[in-house]
Amino acid sequence: MIDLHSHILSALDDGASDVATSVEMARIAVADGITHMACTPHIFPGKYENSATTIMPALHSLQAMLDAQSIPLTLYCGADVHIAPDLVERLKSGEVPTLNRTRYFLLEPPHEILPPRLEDFASRLLEAGFVPVITHPERLSWAGRHFDVIQRLSDLGCPLQLTADSLTGAFGSAARQLCERILKEGRASFFASDAHGVSWRKPGLSGAYAMIAEQFGQEEADRMFRRRPAAILSNAEPAAVLPSSRETVGAAAGQGFTRRLIDRIFRNG
């Protein structure tokens, strides 16, 4: 399986506290069946001032350590990016690393407050050629009250990333219910661990994989835990990343505009 959201790099944010923890997280991930992992430290202006300059050396150093210890986990760069007014410029300059330097990056909306015109912000990123993957919408405290915003972000063409532990219930019933609603509406693109350590919020996708396979079939589980994350890492076109059922749902709801928008933007991508 491929995990595109982790805080495995040490001492860059609230994830792994030291290198030993990073290595142990890698061991746990491999034991769970994860073969590829994106290292996505927070980039949060004023709180976690990360950039490619801090992330890339840490990634290369950890990969060398894993290789030396024969831990079969391939790392990719990325970041867990919070909204900022100059984000487009920082993405264009490469200061904010996208997932494996593709058009896709993780965008984490504020947890407690719904920012005004979030969809406009996402549209501007799409128009600039970047695809914001909305991280764990099911865990945002406002998402239940403003689910229409999540739906509109999804309709715009932003892939939605669910957290494996939300489905298994570790984040409580509200997160689990929203997770199930997003799945039921055919809006979920893929799952990730958002791992932060070795105890609570440790790496792991297999529990959620088994639940998805049981509920939606093996094929859909493979799409959510392997094929769509792989498509992101290879910079495939959004059609390979977005849930295909959205085309049907969007068309049925008269939301062809959004599909046209993303097709137009990435027609030659």
Phi, psi for residue 95 in degrees, rounded to 5 = -65, -40
If one asks whether residue 138 binds Fe ion (CB under 5 A), the answer comes out as no
Give DSSP secondary structure letters for 85-132.
TTHHHHHHHTSS--GGGSSEEEEE--SSS--TTHHHHHHHHHHTT-EE
If one asks whether residue 13 binds Fe ion (CB under 5 A), the answer comes out as no
Give DSSP secondary structure letters for 19-53.
HHHHHHHHHHHHHHT--EEEE--EEBTTTB---HH
DSSP, collapsed to helix, strand or coil, labels residue 78 as coil
Amino acid letter, residue 233: L
As measured in angstroms, the least distance from the Cβ of 194 to Fe ion is 4
Between residues 3 and 80, which has the closer beta carbon with respect to Fe ion? 80
Among 80, 138, 155, 165, binds Fe ion (CB under 5 A): 80
If one asks whether residue 194 binds Fe ion (CB under 5 A), the answer comes out as yes
As measured in angstroms, the least distance from the Cβ of 6 to Fe ion is 8
Between residues 225 and 246, which has the closer beta carbon with respect to Fe ion? 225
Between residues 80 and 138, which has the closer beta carbon with respect to Fe ion? 80
Between residues 111 and 260, which has the closer beta carbon with respect to Fe ion? 111
As measured in angstroms, the least distance from the Cβ of 253 to Fe ion is 30
Q: Are the beta carbons of 203 and 195 closer than 8 angstroms?
A: yes
Residues that bind Fe ion (CB under 5 A): 80, 194
